[in-house]
């Protein structure tokens, strides 16, 4: 799950860099408004990429460490479908 989110993040950030570089290296020679529009799209991509990369999936645990209370941890593990050995 983590690898898929990381790969998606890098694809989105790569697209952001490609949009920005191509806007000012190539597109601005033909159309300045198109280059500015491409940069505006590139500006929106990093926050969206960060949100999507840090999103947790349904199988991810929403808490990282056990609480320290064995009874509570056992109850939560039972709800998660995990068995302690």
Percent with pLDDT over 70 in the chain:
82
pLDDT at position 43 over 90: yes
Cβ neighbours around 67 below 10 Å, total: 10
19 and 78 Cβ atoms separated by less than 8 Å: no
Structural domain boundaries in the chain: 2-58
Q: What is the pLDDT of residues 13-37, one digit of tens each?
A: 999 999 999 999 999 999 999 999 9
pLDDT at position 63 over 60: no
pLDDT averaged over the chain? 84
In angstroms, the CA 73 to CA 67 distance is 7
In angstroms, the CA 70 to CA 48 distance is 39
> Average pLDDT, stretch 40-64?
82
pTM: 0.64
């Amino acid at each position: 799950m983590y690898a898929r989110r990381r790969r998606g993040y890098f694809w989105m950030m790569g697209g952001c860099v490609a949009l920005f570089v191509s806007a000012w290296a190539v597109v601005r020679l033909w159309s300045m408004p198109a280059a500015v529009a491409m940069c505006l799209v590139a500006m929106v991509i990093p926050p969206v990429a960060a949100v999507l990369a840090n999103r947790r999936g349904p199988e991810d645990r929403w808490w990282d460490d056990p609480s320290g209370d064995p009874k509570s941890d056992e109850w939560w593990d039972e709800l998660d479908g995990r068995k302690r050995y």
